[in-house]
Amino acid sequence: MLEEAMRAIAQHGLAALTMSGLAERLGTSGGHILYYFGSKDRLLLEALRWSEDRLNEERRALLSRRTTVPRRLDAFLELYLPDGPRDPRWMLWVELWARAAGNGELTTAQEEIDRAWQEDLERLLVRGVRQGRFGLPEEEAPAAADELLALLDGLSTRVVLGLRGATREVAVRTARRAARNVTRPIE
């Protein structure tokens, strides 16, 4: 149900999505969906959590790979960025951001999901510092992670909205360049 909701939101946006329309896609009733979710905001939040839970498993696997920290950082960047315009996962984020300012539950959920990415990236940067791979002072890892994630969010938004010149390939190159600048690799 949540996977189909994610696809429907990505295709039409949350404003155009009706519970009855989603129910028809799922072969159930709008009342059934409302019983479980109560509102479109709740449906959005649960679809996003479901999507992020799946992505968390993938992120944990890539961070535990037996490869160099710079390669894990590169894989982290690639995992974070959208596949292209209207990427369903990222369309959920766009919808969430549009609604979070006026909704405490959505804001709290956004912070919770963001925190997991932030903490994983911080740990990765610290590991790189301790291994002598990054010239970044260890105490700057939280700020560096925050800076990289802000850039990734901006790049992702441009890609998912299909803005002129904003492709996944350009976003990956830009993210890699920023990561090199932030971590100041030791040559």
Q: What are phi and psi of 85, to 5 degrees?
A: -55, 140
The residue whose two tokens read 């956004």 is 110
CB 88 within 8 A of CB 3: no
pTM score:
0.90
Domains of the chain: 40-183 (1.10.357.10)
- Residue by residue, pLDDT tens for the chain (187 residues) are 899 889 888 888 888 888 888 888 888 888 888 888 888 889 999 999 999 999 999 999 999 999 999 999 999 999 999 999 999 999 999 999 999 988 999 999 999 999 999 999 999 999 999 999 999 999 999 999 999 999 999 999 999 999 999 999 999 999 999 999 988 755 5
Percent helix, strand, coil in the chain (nearest 5)?
A: 75, 0, 25
CB 38 within 8 A of CB 32: no
CB 96 within 8 A of CB 160: no
